[in-house]
Amino acid sequence: MTAKIAINGYGTIGKRVAHAVSLQDDMEVVGVTKTRPTYEARMAIDNGFDLYAVSSEHVQGFKDANIPVQGTLSDLLAKADLVVDCAPGKKGAANLDTYKKAGVKAIFQGGEKHETAGFSFNASANYSEGLGKDLARVVSCNTTGLCRTLYPIYKELGIEWVQATMIRRSADPGDSKKGPINAIEPVLKVPSHHGPDVQTVVPGINIQTLAVKVPTTIMHLHTLVVKLGKPATKEQVLDIWKNEPRICFVNGGEGIKSTAQIMEMSRDLGRDRSDFYETVVWKDGVSVKGDLLYFIQAIHQESDVVPDNIDCIRALLQLETEAKASMSKTNKSMGIDN
Ligand code: NAD
């Protein structure tokens, strides 16, 4: 028996999670939802997924466009063990009562507040805390990237504090409505929400963050300074990260000097949609001086949370009790090197 998974919101994250679920042998997609009859709705059907309207008021739009829907979200939830909510940020929380009434477990995304689910998940840091829970939130792309590199350092060497700057892409590549297109926009809520968001997963990490938005669509980049719990060497830090399943090293010396070459590498690797699921650390940008660690990492915002959604499904439904086993299974199915 495979677990029955519904995807509510077949957009940037939802279509990727649906595809990733379809690659697993212990779960299957029972249907996906859309609000409007866009090309993505048609593609969902072409990709073999049953399409549902988010609510009854949206059904006529699909009829007018000759796109067949199997019913509405409530019909879909009746067939599901778990729903992955991929509605636009801040809209998912309104679906909570619907999921509770339908008696399905639910996973929200990082655009929702921690309080919506009361539990924030990152596979590398707290998989076992998710076992059997009814609700979880897979943290945002930036927070996922921060947890992956910081948690193992925190565990092995200790962390006194972290100061980090998030240099954020202004919009996803398919989103032509957002900007800036010719400016650098500081996030004036200082410090930014990213530090507290890491603490929803690992409360013990003392982290302060700032953020700026820049005119690029392909990736985020983080610069970090970490005061370690004890003096260490660069080799020790690299050894710790080498054993982590979702950290990938690149080298400026080998021509990967920017996020553009990371995306080019992903195209060369033949990944689905040219996605890059790992947190990418510049190996030749890592420096340790006594107890201070400096490093720079890049995050593919559209895809790094996708494998963690798969692991979160396994944790909530207790399909696998060990984090490493689940992550390894997910990685293998998605072409991520372990
Ligand atoms: P999106 O706008 O690309 O897709 C959202 C989808 O939800 C659309 O297909 C839309 O039809 C559907 N939808 C609209 N209203 C809905 C509703 N009330 N209920 C259910 N579905 C509805 O958004 P996205 O970028 O995929 O973001 C989804 C979530 O993932 C957000 O919480 C966001 O913060 C988070 N997230 C986004 C990114 C990213 O870079 N795009 C990265 C990590 C996390």
Q: Which pLDDT tens digit goes with each residue over 295-306?
A: 999 999 999 999
Across residues 281-301, what is the average pLDDT? 98
Q: Name the average pLDDT for the chain.
A: 97
Q: Which of 249, 297, 306 is nearest to 11 (CA)?
A: 306
What is the residue with the minimal CA distance to atom 19 of ligand 1?
87
Residues marked as catalytic: 141
Place of tokens 């990938």: 248
What atom in ligand 1 is closest to the CA of residue 33? 21
Distance 240 CA to ligand 1 centre (A): 34
Query: Which protein residue's CA is at the shortest distance from atom 12 of ligand 1?
Result: 9
Among protein residues, the one with the nearest Cα to ligand 1's atom 9 is: 11
Instruction: Determine whether the shortest distance from the Cβ of 283 to ligand 1 is under 6 A.
Output: no
Residue 338, pLDDT > 80, answer: no
> Which of 109, 175, 219, 306 most suits a substitution to test ligand 1, by most atoms within 8 Å of the C-beta?
109
Q: Domain spanning 141-299: which CATH class is it, in words?
A: alpha beta
Residues 48-62 have a mean pLDDT of 97
Residue 67 pLDDT more than 90? yes
Judge whether 3-139+305-334 and 141-299 match in fold: no
Segment 100-116 shows an average pLDDT of 98
Predicted confidence band at 337 (pLDDT cuts at 50, 70, 90)? confident
Tell which atom from ligand 1 comes closest to the C-alpha of 36: 11
Interacting residues of 121 by C-beta distance below 8 A, sequence separation 6+: 107, 127, 129, 130, 136, 137, 138, 139, 201, 308, 312, 315
Q: Which residues contact 221 (CB under 8 A, 6 or more apart)?
A: 167, 259, 296, 297, 298, 299
Q: Percentage of the chain with pLDDT > 70?
A: 100
- The answer, yes or no, to whether any atom of ligand 1 lies below 6 A from the CB of 87, is yes
The CB of 88 under 6 Å from ligand 1? The reply is yes
Identify the DSSP state of 56: G
What's the mean pLDDT in 123-144? 98
Cβ atoms of 8 and 54 closer than 8 Å: yes
Q: Give yes or no for a contact between 207 and 150, defined as CB atoms under 8 angstroms apart.
A: yes
Q: Which CATH class is domain 3-139+305-334?
A: alpha beta
Ligand 1 atom showing the smallest separation from residue 94 Cα: 18
* Cβ of residue 302 lying under 6 Å from some atom of ligand 1: yes
**pLDDT of 262 higher than 90:** yes
Please state the rounded mean pLDDT for residues 1-8.
Answer: 97
Please answer whether residues 297 and 279 qualify as being in contact, where contact means their C-beta atoms are separated by less than 8 angstroms.
Answer: yes
Percent of the chain with pLDDT over 90: 99
Helices 141-156 and 234-242: crossing angle in degrees, nearest 10, is 120
- The residue with greater pLDDT, 307 or 338, is 307
φ and ψ at 294, to 5 degrees? -115, 135
Enter the pTM of the model. Answer: 0.98
Task: Please write the tens of the pLDDT for every residue from 195-215.
Answer: 999 999 999 999 999 999 999
Domain-wise residue ranges, the chain: 3-139+305-334, 141-299
Question: Is residue 219 over pLDDT 70?
Answer: yes
